[in-house]
Amino acid sequence: MNMRVSRELFKIMKLLSVLVLTGVLFTYAMFQGGYVSWFLFYSVVIVVLFHVVFLLYPLRWVTVERTVSGHLHTLNEPFDMTITLRKKFPFPFVYLSIIDDVPAGLDAAGSFPGTVYFFKAKKEIHYTYKTQGAVRGVYEFSEVTLAAGDLFGFYQKEYVAAASASVVVLPEIRPLHQWPPPLHDEEDSVVSVSKLRNDTLSVAGVREYAAGDKLTSIDWKVSARAGKLVTKEFESQEGKGMMILLENSEAESSERFERQVELAASFADFGRKENIRTGFALTADNEPIVVPGSNKRHFQEIFKELARAGRNGSSSPISSSFHNSISGNVIVYITSRLSEARYEELKLVILKGRTVLIGYIGSPNQRKQDTEMLRSLRGRGVLVYFARERRATSPLHVEKGGP
């Protein structure tokens, strides 16, 4: 408190010194006369009046608006953030600084989230900078700090203006084939992800082959009869689809959980490209977050929920999401470890006739611990989708079959 009083007294003394200087110059001009003396006096008067207007001009008269170049962005994708200032009156501040409060997790993309303008008299000011999301998540922008000062440095004003905006940074989305599988000599049998496609899609008809169509979709029998290549057209089977179930209630590390989210995003992207009705849920929740659907906006909602997904600190031995998912959907369970409770729960789901695919991205040590349970589940017809973190161009495979 004493320090604050001292600073205020110091400012008052500075202001009085300016007034005394003005009085001295006026006296000098009255007695000396002449052009130079009156020029000095009027120059100082103008500066003093400018100073007085600055003191009377509150920064809250400056409104702040924020504009974002899109509210949905991929990881490390630069986007523009524009700060717009509108003055009630076009007063030329000696200096006016703008500092944006950038949420943690966003990095600068070659520009600083703030600037300083000198004697900017325009009524409307625009400042744009670039930033990017280094970590997936939902980022809330809320405040912009404005600061201004007078010519002598006697007074400084600061005002925190509310300017909200929300930006969603999606997890890294890469095609399934960019997740390298385990070495072939480590596996007993390998099948492609066409099993998942066949369980959720049905052939609606055929059409002439076009560049870019998958070779696996070519109908060779019809092609032989027609004398030209034709490809199958698929549509979602009635009541069929997949429910992506992300494990977030087991004791996962943060880094491993991020890999789980990325693998879940790859499955969602697979569903989008194949037009598979896809839903999303977390093991810690009682109900699906996103019910199965297949339109563009629906998949955007899934990716947004993946951006928001977080770990639940406590272990959940029973997850109602396994049993509440809509009947007929393939359950795609994403995890990096398999607990005894989850193992028993999956066996119950299989007994109900549900199709289950496990997207497994455990560490080598964890995988050794889970080998017997995974082998047992495979013997019951569960597909196990092993993924390693090192990037490669070879396709990812699904493992099926007995021990």
Contacts for 362-368: CB closer than 8 Å, 24+ residues apart: 362/256, 362/335, 362/336, 362/337, 362/338, 363/256, 363/336, 366/336, 366/337
Per-residue pLDDT band at 389 (split at 50, 70, 90): low
* pLDDT attached to residue 206: 55
Share of the chain above pLDDT 70, in %: 69
Amino acid type, 125 = I
- In this predicted model, which residue has the larger pLDDT, 361 or 22? 361
Going from N- to C-terminal start, the domains of the chain cover 2-56, 59-169, 176-201+238-386
CATH architecture of 59-169: Sandwich (2.60)
Per-residue pLDDT band at 265 (split at 50, 70, 90): very high
Instruction: Label the pairing between strands 137-149 and 156-169.
Output: antiparallel
Give CA–CA dist 183/346, Å, rounded.
26
3-state SS class at 294? coil
Contact between 279 and 291 (Cβ < 8 Å): yes
Q: 84-98, 208-222, 281-295: which has the highest mean pLDDT?
A: 84-98
pLDDT tens for each residue of 91-104:
888 889 999 999 98
pLDDT tens for each residue of 13-43:
666 666 676 676 667 666 676 777 777 767 7
Q: What angle do CA 273, 277, 280 make, to 5 degrees?
A: 100
Q: 50-54, 265-269, 280-284, 337-341: which has the highest mean pLDDT?
A: 265-269
The dotted CATH code for 176-201+238-386 is 3.40.50.410
Q: What is the mean pLDDT of residues 313-330?
A: 60
pLDDT tens for each residue of 126-138:
999 999 998 899 9
pLDDT tops 50 at residue 396: no
* pLDDT attached to residue 140: 93
Contact between 388 and 366 (Cβ < 8 Å): no
pLDDT tens for each residue of 266-294:
999 988 888 888 889 888 876 667 887 87
59-169 matches 176-201+238-386 in fold: no
pLDDT tens for each residue of 175-206:
887 776 554 434 433 343 555 555 444 444 55
137 bridge partner residues = 169
Q: What is the mean pLDDT of residues 40-59?
A: 76
Instruction: Label the pairing between strands 201-208 and 93-100.
Output: unpaired
